[in-house]
Amino acid sequence: MFLRIEKGSSVAISRQIADQIATLCASGTMKPGEQLPSVRELARDLAVNQNTILRVYERLCGEGLLEMRHGQGTFATGRVSKTRTAAHRARLVDELRQIARQATGLGLTTDELHELLTEAVDSIPTAEALPAGRGQTS
C-alpha cells in the first residue's frame, strides 16, 4: 500500500491518510478482504505516530470501509462509506462552483463552459482501461 504524507499541509495528517485509504478502496486498488498493514508497520513506514494510525483505522472501521478482525488484523470490506461519499460530493460541488467563478472571470459564456465540461468528460477513458492506481501513488 503506497501512501504519501504531505508535511506542512493545511490538511491534517490523519485526514490525509484516511482520504487516501478511502480512495484506494473506492478505486478498487484495495480489493475487498485484502489485509492492511498493522498499525505498527504503517506507523513505522510513514514515520507517523501510532495513535494517529490507530484513530484512522478506527474511524474507517466506523464508516464501514475497514473491519478489524480480532487477532488477525485489519481488512478492507469493499463497502462504500455513505458519509464519506456525501462529503466527497459536497467538496466536488464546492470545487465546481470555484471553477464556474473563474470561468466567468475569464469571460466564458455558460454555453462555452458546458462545452468544455463535456469535452473533459469525453476525454476520460472507460473504467476498464484505467490503470490500477490513482494520482496520489508514490
Residues contributing to the site for other proteins (CB under 8 A): 5, 7-14, 40, 43-44, 46-52, 55
End-to-end CA gap in the chain: 10
Smallest distance from other proteins to CB 43, Å:
5
Smallest distance from other proteins to CB 45, Å:
9
3-class secondary-structure state, position 13: helix
How are beta strands 66-69 and 73-76 bridged, if at all?
antiparallel
Q: How far apart are CA 81 and CA 102, in angstroms?
A: 32
Q: Within 13 Å of residue 99, how many CA atoms lie on the same side as its CB?
A: 11
**56 or 76: CB nearest other proteins:** 56
Smallest distance from other proteins to CB 106, Å:
21
